[in-house]
Amino acid sequence: MLKSLLLIRGIHIPSTNWSSNKSQLLKLRKKTGYTFESCKKALQLNDNSLEKSEEWLKEEAQRLGWAKANKLANRATAQGLIAFAIDNRKEIATMVEVNCETDFVARNKSFHSIVDVVTSSCLDFAKKQKALENSFSKVNLKSGELMALSGAEGKSLADHVAVTIGNLGENVTLRRATCLNTQDTGLKIMGLTHPSNLTGSHFLCGKYGSLLIYRKQLDTDKINQKSMEHSHEEILRQMCQHVIGMNPKSVGVLKTDDSVIFKDVATNKNVNENEDSSLDNIDENKSNSEIEEDGMLEQDFLLDPSMTVGQVATDYGIDVLDFVRYECGET
């Protein structure tokens, strides 16, 4: 009888302990997203403390992530996403390219999370830049400069990428970013991606992306009545779509009845002064055929080939000053 009682008690006590441990395990798993095995080990090593276990998991993920990142560093990353963010006043914007090895991983939530972190960090960086009077700041960041930026929790983007690589088991790279600031200049920014998907933080992302810097004409008498047919927002999105689809190399020239106006942009490049820009200076000696092929304003408008982009811009009272175009994996 005593033997049976001891046996029952021996079974009952561990069952109670397991119920308690299981509750902690489920909480840690839900909060951190790490595997049950990793969460169980963390709790065992930290006396069932959720706070200490969570910190241990982060440190372990960082350590293992860097080990994995170093091992996979030479793998090609031709897939990925283009993402952009614009502030509410449409005066500060960024566009980034984050790459991975396969399209399957590019659709993964963990990959979208690192795209969110990078986009947020670059938008914060863009906010710190200062625009010149009547112009704007345009800063192009390369991979090494991106990795050094500060991200969430005060960690560098390099650390965040390492953790992502550890979670995904696939190489991830930060290829490039462009940061724009037009504050107090009267200039605005519009953006578009194709296809247009959302990341976890509701940043728009896709395989292609474009940003357009523009100014609205204040003299309404010069604006054609066609501007009443569509909103400026719609036309500006269509212009971004044109940049993605037609891939112009420069803003180009705006032809009027009396003259040809060369568009020239004074850009404040306070970082990466020698970085190549999406806007190439137009040589006035270029032939008309070269200008028409490469200049955005001289190209037939993608959504209405009977008009040029310049004609559409004039009709709707829009001055196009510059644009940025990204294509994922382009060389």
* pLDDT number for residue 36: 77
Return the minimum-mean-pLDDT range out of 1-15, 145-159, 205-219, 280-294: 1-15
110/29: higher pLDDT? 110
Three-state secondary structure of the chain: CHHHHHHHHHHHHHHHHHHHHHHHHHHHHHHHCCCHHHHHHHHHHCCCCHHHHHHHHHHHHHHHHHHHHHHHCCCCCCEEEEEEEECCCCCEEEEEEEEECCHHHHCCHHHHHHHHHHHHHHHHHHHCCCCCCCCEEEEEEEHHHHHHCECHHHCEHHHHHHHHHHHHCCCEEEEEEEEEECCCCCCEEEEEEECCEECCCCCEEECEEEEEEEEECCCHHHCCHHHHCCCHHHHHHHHHHHHHHHCCCECCEEECCCCEEECCCCEECCCCCCCCCCCCCCCCCCCHHHHHHHEHHHCEECCEEEEEHHHHHHHCCEEEEEEEEEECCCC
Write out pLDDT tens, residues 266-306.
Answer: 334 444 433 433 333 334 444 444 445 689 999 999 999 99
* pLDDT number for residue 307: 94
Average pLDDT of 65-87? Answer: 91
Write out pLDDT tens, residues 218-277.
Answer: 655 555 555 555 688 999 999 999 999 999 999 998 775 544 444 544 334 444 433 433
* pLDDT number for residue 177: 98
* pLDDT number for residue 292: 53
* pLDDT number for residue 253: 85
Mean of all residue pLDDT scores within the chain = 81
